[in-house]
Amino acid sequence: MRTVTATDANRNFSGLLRDVAAGESILIVSRGTPVAKMSPVDAKNAAMAAKEILLSRLSGQKAVGRRDWTRDELYGD
């Protein structure tokens, strides 16, 4: 894992994001103390978490609007 200072991370943030997207993990230190870690996200787990959050939110909402549409109305001709 590569270590960079907070100052360097601030100056080169776009480059760090590219490196993380390529699979590298980066430790950010401020005055010698670790303060953050940038690491790649497991896209599959992130998508599943987002789906669970959305479904949880939607299950608590009341359905609104009309429900008597036909397939032709929905998809057009």
Output the pLDDT for position 76: 78
Position 77 confidence tier, pLDDT thresholds 50, 70, 90: low
Q: Can you give the residue ranges of every domain in the chain?
A: 2-59
Token duo for residue 66: 């009309």
Q: Residue 29 forms beta bridges with which residues?
A: 5, 34
In degrees and rounded to multiples of 5, residue 65 shows phi and psi of 95, 175
Q: Which fold has domain 2-59?
A: YefM-like fold (3.40.1620)
Decide: 34 and 28 in contact? Cβ < 8 Å. Answer: yes
pLDDT in tens, 8-28: 999 999 999 999 999 999 999
Q: How far apart are CA 44 and CA 39, in angstroms?
A: 15
Render pLDDT for 25-68 as a digit per residue (tens, 0 to 9): 999 999 999 999 999 988 788 889 999 999 999 999 888 888 88
pTM over 0.95: no
Judged by DSSP in three states, 4 sits in strand
CB 38 within 8 A of CB 22: no
